[in-house]
Amino acid sequence: MITVELTEKSYKGVLIGKEVYDSQAKRIGIVKSILLKFPPLKAYLIVQNGNYSLEISFDIVQSVGHIIQLSEEINLGVEENLRTSGELKSIIEKDELLTLLLIKLKEYIEINEKLERGSD
């Protein structure tokens, strides 16, 4: 497969730099470049928003005007973020449990040391 990324230097503003919105009027990001992959020939918008970059097929572009409107809803990974939050919560709970165990272990060692000194 051959991949070519176009940055539209001579036609800036036709697609590059336009905001992209999905079918639910959610802002997805700004077009950074156009990606062509072949065979078979497929064209994609490379849309950037903050720390992520997303390939969006030209097949779901509904209209191009002041903005680019898509015909489908785009999932930006909210479920993954929630899962990650759940994983972090689990790690924090395990860390709190480990901390509690270490505190109890320290108390146990201190009590044993006092008992050993008292029996000497």
In 1-119, at which residue ranges do the beta strands (DSSP E only) sit?
Answer: 2-6, 19-21, 27-38, 42-49, 52-57, 61-64, 68-70
Q: pLDDT band at residue 50, thresholds of 50, 70 and 90? A: confident
Residue 44, CA distances (Å) to 7, 111, 113, 118 in order: 12, 68, 69, 78
Residues 6+ apart with CB under 8 A from 91: none
What pLDDT sits at residue 83? 42
What pLDDT sits at residue 81? 41
**What does pTM read for this prediction?**
0.59
- Token pair recorded at residue 84: 């990650």
CATH number of 2-70: 3.90.226.10, 2.30.30.240, 3.90.1150.10, 3.30.2010.10?
Answer: 2.30.30.240
Each residue's pLDDT tens digit, 51-66? 778 889 999 999 999 9
* Cα–Cα distance measured from residue 76 to residue 26, given in angstroms and rounded to the nearest whole number: 10
Domain boundaries, the chain: 2-70, 77-120
